[in-house]
């Protein structure tokens, strides 16, 4: 397992190079440039600005210069839209906020979805399976901005229990974490329920029942290790998505996270910031998928990683 992880991590620089190159050239294909909206600037000033950011050079030369900076110092360069700000500084300011929000949303999703899935699988003929299925469908169907707006209206304005916007205290985390984690919790509950039903119908579960093993021990000690595997596979990319933030949720709750930078980098043709956000998201996705594979193999000894 360790050798598998080392091999996957050794491939990471190659994958980062591909993502960086693709993002760099794709943003150059977009119409317009980062300074086209500066109508008030005289042509001479615009020319000096383009020279300062090396935008007057051929694209291949810009690429080589940019690649040298990233390879030497892991420096994504200065942002072309945020004055006197580097991409590394913008990411360093926003990424911890998105990580904190994503970690809270992920914890909420797992702690809510996994027990619902287990309980609904353990009692397949009661009202709980129907309730869990309904909640899962509602959680998946409702967009995050609808959930966020409803939470904001109920707990922020009607009951006035929690703050409606901002960041800095634990109370500010509750509503956006629920809005961001509820769709993930719905999928986790559904996947755990399906996996648990399949695990409880296998031979080892029937043998344990015949030997008089307690139902709770069969459920949590034996079946859960196999039943949670579909959810573990799903949580890899899902964790990367919530850990890097959601533009909609962050916008509604006025959270200074990474999601706004990613969207604004596209709208503003800010190539260095777009490349930095794309590479950061890819690295998080790559690492979380690797972690998901390792957890998957640890839970199921039948798996052989090659």
Which residue blocks in 29-168 are alpha helix, DSSP H? Answer: 43-52, 59-73, 87-122, 127-141, 144-151
pLDDT of residue 57: 73
pLDDT along the chain (306 residues), means of 10: 74 87 81 61 67 71 82 80 83 88 90 86 71 73 82 85 84 89 87 85 78 77 80 84 78 84 80 87 86 75 56
Residue 127's domain spans which residues? 1-306
Beta bridge partners of 78: 86
The number of distinct structural domains making up the chain is: 1
Single out the residue of 30, 35, 39, 75 nearest to residue 55, CA to CA. Answer: 35
Q: Give the domain CATH number at 155.
A: 1.10.3720.10
Residue range 219-231, pLDDT digits in tens: 777 788 788 888 8
pLDDT of residue 107: 92
Degrees (nearest 5) of the Cα angle 148, 154, 158? 140
Residue range 38-87, pLDDT digits in tens: 556 666 766 776 666 666 677 788 888 888 878 777 888 888 777 778 88
Beta bridge partners of 86: 78
Degrees (nearest 5) of the Cα angle 109, 256, 247? 55
pLDDT of residue 108: 92
């Amino acid at each position: 397992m360790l050798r598998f992880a080392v091999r996957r991590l050794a491939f990471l620089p190659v994958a980062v190079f591909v993502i960086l190159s693709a993002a760099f050239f794709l943003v150059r294909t977009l119409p317009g440039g980062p300074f086209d909206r500066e109508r008030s600037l005289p042509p001479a000033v615009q020319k000096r600005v383009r020279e300062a950011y090396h935008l007057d050079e051929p694209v291949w030369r810009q690429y080589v210069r940019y690649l040298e900076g990233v390879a030497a110092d892991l420096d994504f360069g200065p942002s072309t839209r945020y004055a006197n700000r580097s991409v590394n500084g913008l990411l360093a300011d926003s990424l911890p906020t998105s990580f904190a929000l994503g970690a809270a949303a992920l914890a909420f999703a797992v702690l809510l979805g996994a027990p619902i899935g287990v309980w609904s699988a353990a009692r397949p003929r009661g009202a709980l399976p129907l309730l869990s299925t309904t909640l899962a469908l509602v959680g998946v169907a409702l967009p995050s901005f609808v959930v966020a707006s409803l939470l904001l209206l109920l707990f922020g304005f009607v009951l006035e229990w929690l703050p409606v916007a901002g960041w800095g205290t634990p109370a500010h985390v509750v509503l956006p974490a629920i809005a961001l984690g509820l769709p993930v919790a719905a999928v986790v509950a559904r996947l755990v329920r399906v996996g648990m039903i399949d695990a409880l119908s296998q031979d080892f579960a029937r043998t344990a029942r015949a030997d008089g093993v307690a139902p709770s021990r069969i459920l949590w000690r034996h079946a859960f290790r196999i039943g949670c595997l579909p959810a573990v596979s799903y949580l890899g990319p899902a964790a990367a998505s919530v850990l890097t933030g959601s533009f909609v949720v962050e916008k509604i709750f006025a959270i200074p996270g990474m999601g706004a930078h990613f969207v604004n980098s596209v709208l503003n043709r800010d190539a260095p910031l777009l490349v930095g956000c794309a590479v950061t998201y890819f690295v998080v996705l790559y690492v979380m998928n690797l972690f998901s594979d390792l957890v998957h193999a640890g839970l199921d000894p039948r798996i052989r990683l090659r």
